[in-house]
Amino acid sequence: MKVGIIGNNLTCLVLAKALVNQQIFVDIFYKDKKIIVDKTRTIGISKSNVDYFNKNISNINKFLWPIKKIKIYSENSNNKEIIGFENQNENLFSIAENYKIFNQLITELKNNKFFKYKNTVSYKNLYKINCDLMINCDQENEITKKFFFQKFEKKYESIAYTTLIDHKILPSNDVAIQIFTKRGPMAFLPVSNKKTSIVYSVQKKKFDNVFDIKNSIMKFNLNYQIKKINKISKFNLKSSNLRKYYKDNILAFGDILHKLHPLAGQGFNMTLRDIKNLLEIIINRIELGLPLDQSVCIEFQKKVKSNNLIFSEGINLIYESFNFKNKIKGDFIDKSVKLIGKNKLVNKYLRKIADKGLQI
């Protein structure tokens, strides 16, 4: 049996590695262009997903920086902490620089007999390729535009700015900080004891200036003696959920299925949970002697679509709640959030959802 994957991003490589580890033949189809991996981008991976990644895909422990606490602040409350999360027994999640995992997966796949890279001029006729199942992870190709364009979509009218700051070495740097500023949420995500990732989601009408972004980083920095603010990258923000996950034996995957606001750091975690569910379906069908065809797509959509949509809307609700509070005076919402966060059962439930996703 053979699976074809369209695209050459991190999701493609993770999915390919998960499949070849099960001795399933995988071809990645990509267009002949140089891949530039943004070195300012980081990903947060929940504990359960780290465990799954290391066991079923590739051991990435050497790239991970553990986060033991999350602290959330609000500019409306004079930068006071309004809610916090921690688990004394284990890490909440880990941060990794995208390009390091990307490079390791490429090396491992190129040395695997079940894997092939295949250059293609066009994606138009890939459905004719001799693969049992095609998985499309490329948002910009002809197949996506033709078959996977109907979405539930929300435009935030915001831009996400990402960068890495170099700072004085700290004895410990294991606390992730999210500050809900009046211009948008800013996250400080440690990647080592001397380097921290910044993700700042800014409403377009507020400003679009690198100098202002740097000033904001300095203004809201609570912990670091900054030596250098590295290159700042940016991208437009929106959330989306695909209405139908497949066309014939072509399954849409990754960011095509769902995009989230980065404030909760759950986008890649959702994709990893999708990979786990898809792999379970594929392995089960192989064990039963059944083909990998459109029925895989149907079963996958039935299994994950509702949960993905509800989870995505939950992230939207969090964003809108804090966005609304920035438009009103007073700190009633901050006090309410703080009160809810102090409830041990609620706090534990929120940590469980962030780790393992929504399970209905």
CATH number of the domain residue 37 falls in: 3.50.50.60
pLDDT, residue 114, reads 96
In this prediction, residue 349 has a pLDDT band, given cuts at 50, 70 and 90, of very low
For residue 88, the enclosing domain spans 2-154+237-356
Phi-psi category of residue 7: left, alpha or beta, with phi > 0 → left and psi -120 to 50 → alpha: left
CA distance 20 to 28: 12
Helices (H), 111-151: 142-147
The tokens describing 47, both together, are 């504990």
pLDDT, residue 224, reads 95
- The enclosing H or E element of 85 equals strand 80-86
Q: What is the DSSP string of 16-59?
A: HHHHHTTT-EEEEEE-SS-----TT-EEEEEHHHHHHHHHHT--
Quote the mean pLDDT of the chain.
Answer: 84
Give per-residue pLDDT as tens, 30-81. 876 666 677 888 999 999 999 999 999 999 999 999 999 988 888 876 667 7
pLDDT, residue 346, reads 46
Domain membership flag for residue 214:
no
Query: In a 10 Å sphere around its CB, with 0-12 CB exposed, 13-18 middle and 19+ buried, how is residue 120 labelled?
Result: middle
Average pLDDT over residues 16-26: 97
By percentage, how much of the chain surpasses pLDDT 70?
A: 82
- The enclosing H or E element of 259 equals strand 258-259
Give per-residue pLDDT as tens, 211-247. 889 999 999 998 899 999 999 988 888 888 999 999 9
Domain membership flag for residue 216:
no
Cα 53 to Cα 57, 64, 95: the distances in Å are: 5, 12, 14
Domain membership flag for residue 199:
no
Average pLDDT over residues 284-312: 93
Give per-residue pLDDT as tens, 312-337. 887 777 766 666 555 555 554 455 45
Pairing of strands 184-190, 175-181: antiparallel
pLDDT, residue 73, reads 87
DSSP character at residue 331: S
Pairing of strands 226-229, 151-167: antiparallel
Sign of CA dihedral 84, 87, 88, 93: negative
CA distance 331 to 193: 34
Specify whether the CB–CB gap between 291 and 132 falls below 8 A: yes
Domain membership flag for residue 185:
no
CA distance 230 to 142: 35
Specify whether the CB–CB gap between 161 and 233 falls below 8 A: yes
In this prediction, residue 351 has a pLDDT band, given cuts at 50, 70 and 90, of low
Give per-residue pLDDT as tens, 131-178. 899 999 998 888 898 899 999 888 878 888 999 999 999 999 999 998
CA distance 192 to 301: 38
Domain membership flag for residue 131:
yes
Residue 341: pLDDT over 60: no
Domain membership flag for residue 179:
no
Weakest mean pLDDT among 56-70, 83-97, 184-198: 83-97
Average pLDDT over residues 197-202: 91
**To the nearest 5 percent, what fractions of the chain are helix, strand and coil?**
40, 30, 30
Residue 356: pLDDT over 70: no
The tokens describing 183, both together, are 């211009």
Question: How many domains are there within the chain?
Answer: 1
Domain membership flag for residue 205:
no
List all residues 6 or more positions away from 41 whose beta carbon is below 8 Å from its beta carbon: 97, 98, 99, 162, 233
pLDDT, residue 257, reads 94
Three-state SS for 175? Answer: strand
Weakest mean pLDDT among 146-160, 200-214, 270-284: 200-214
Give per-residue pLDDT as tens, 286-295. 999 999 999 9
pLDDT, residue 215, reads 92
Domain membership flag for residue 176:
no
List all residues 6 or more positions away from 59 whose beta carbon is below 8 Å from its beta carbon: none
pLDDT, residue 282, reads 96
Weakest mean pLDDT among 195-204, 295-304, 315-324: 315-324
CA distance 229 to 305: 39
